[in-house]
Amino acid sequence: MQIYRGILAALGATLLLKIATVVPALVLADIIDNLATSAASSQLLLGAFICLVALQASMTPLQAWCLARLCQERVKQLSIRWCRELLDKRFEAYGQLHGGTLVKVLDRGITAQERWLGFLIGSAWPVLAEAAVLITLFAYLGATSVLIGLIPLSLGYLWANDRLVRWRRPHIEAVNAREDELAEQWVDTFASAATVKLEKAEDAAMLPVNQTLSHYADSAVQVAHSGGWIQSLRTLFIGLGSGGLLMWGIHDQALTTPQLSLGELVALFTLVSGLLAGVAQLAEAWRLLDQFRLDKRKLEHWLQLPSFGPACTTEAKSQDKDAGLSIVPCQLSARDTVQLHIEEPLVLHKGERVALIGPSGCGKSTLLHTLAGTIFPLRKNVHLHGRCLASLDASEQFSRLRFCPQDAHFIPGPLPRAVLFEQAHDRAQIERWLERLGLSKDWYELDLDARAESISGGEARRLTLLRLLNQPGEFNFFDEPTAGLDAASAERTWDLLFEAFKGRGLICVTHDQSALSRFDRLITLSEGRIISQGQTNIAQISELAGTPQTL
């Protein structure tokens, strides 16, 4: 209901402003017609004219505020909704939503929506309101023939403008593609800036950027050239409209009994000039709208990517509900390469501690992601207490299956926001965990940026463990939780994990051989396949893990 009140207020303010625009012109006509007859009445009319202009000037900010408020409130609501929808996409989608491109397209998509609302509220409605007022005025003055001439001219101009805009679309698409490519290259180049500098490879790093900039410059020139034709059409339209009105005025004044007085003709010319400018503004807004509509279309394509959620409602009746977490035979391939091949059912029991080991690239992390339910195509093959993961929504799944990825990511702010994402927690408990991890309890007050550049990689890695410690699930998955830690820090971390998750499932990918004896079961992978399970002696562990023995 509130948005409708805002629409009515904005449209009403615009209509009043257009009426206020017409009245001073009519007063001006009376002033001109009375110049030779009555100085007193002319002075009175002049005072009224000044007051009306002042009133019109005071109403303009009100109109601008109403239109902007209405437009921006709607844009804010849509922007929040779109960002939330992108966060609901499947994990596979984030591989397509590259950082630089995502920011560029999201920004342009939001701007496109702003332009569309601005077109409807700030351009189309004002022109329609002005046309309605002028139609009434022309009928009152007996100048309907002027209106009959202006309508087809305006419609023809808008049609020709639309043809040029459509012809120009491929040029805009080319510029947008170059902008997206350039944004992604800027991100990639500066993300590698330190390495580039160490290798003295600045020239090599700039080669793809320079090439893209060259293509962008060519595309931008083409867009400017095609835009020039649109501006030329606008100039022609305003010139023909103004010239036609002058011809009609000259012809009317040459008659024995002119339809309009000289003052009325001046007022009419002033108002028609404003109408022509409004129609030209409408055409320009349509051009910009079409340009940004291409951006909106790309954003809509991303918004239509499938969301993460229940993919089916069936449960696997054949699965043992007491089995805990299980996965049936399945396969995942990419680029003709088998990433994971489960040949026999795998069952993880409640409270079991399992290590996934093997050489780098053997499929450990892929199996971990599959068991955690983040690989959408394989969710239907994973069952939690006999229930297919594909039947669970995201909230239930990630409350019961908790996953800590290897990379550390934060949102800017103090630890409760940056690390815990404002989840409910006991500060005293968090501080105790920080000390157990070899960090000070003062870290609770530490401000972090998104990349945690103020702390080391090992410190950032330990901070991410707090998320699962604070909100554990039935099964808890860690991708190399002690990667980058020294031996003492790694041992403290393992002690805390095995203590905190006692009685809960704990599944870890690790290369830390010193910790393998802690686990109930070792699952060894090679080339995406499970080649052995069970507790293994140290020599066998070293051979299967593909790493030197350190014990």
At 129, the amino acid letter reads A
> Which CATH number is associated with domain 325-545?
3.40.50.300
In this structure, which long-range contacts are made by residues 90-95, counting pairs with CB atoms below 8 Å and at least 24 apart in sequence?
90/305, 90/306, 90/307, 90/308, 90/376, 91/308, 91/369, 91/374, 91/375, 91/376, 92/375, 92/376, 93/302, 93/305, 93/306
Q: How many CA atoms lie within 13 A of 456 on its CB side?
A: 8
Residue 13: what pLDDT? Answer: 66
What DSSP letter does each residue of 49-89 carry, written as one string?
A: HHHHHHHHHHHHHHHHHHHHHHHHHHHHHHHHHHHHHHHTB
CATH class belonging to 2-303: mainly alpha
Q: Work out the angle at residue 337's Cα, subtended by the Cα atoms of residues 541 and 548, and round it to the nearest 5 degrees.
A: 20
Angle of helix 2-33 relative to helix 262-303, nearest 10 degrees?
Answer: 160
What DSSP element (H or E) covers 426? none
C-alpha span between 394 and 405 (Å, rounded): 17
Q: Which pair of tokens denotes residue 286?
A: 């349509």
List, as one string, the DSSP characters of 145-169. HHHHHHHHHHHHHHHHHHHHHHHHH
Distances (CA, A) of 211 to 94, 218, 437, 474: 27, 11, 48, 52
Residue 417: count of CB within 10 angstroms of its CB: 15
Task: Compute the C-alpha angle 387/388/393, nearest 5°.
Answer: 100
Q: Where are the chain's structural domains? A: 2-303, 325-545
Phi, psi of 405, rounded to the nearest 5 degrees: -70, 170
| pLDDT mean values, one per 10 residues, the chain (551 residues) | 61 67 70 65 73 73 72 79 80 62 69 72 72 75 77 91 90 84 80 77 86 90 91 92 86 81 78 81 79 71 77 52 83 84 92 94 92 91 92 91 90 89 93 93 84 81 94 95 92 95 95 93 93 67 45 30
Residue 90 DSSP code: -
pTM confidence score: 0.68
Q: DSSP class of residue 38?
A: -
Query: Between the CA of residue 134 and those of 142, 150, 266, 281, what are the distances in Å?
Result: 12, 11, 14, 17
Residue 238's CB is within 10 A of a number of other CB atoms, namely 16
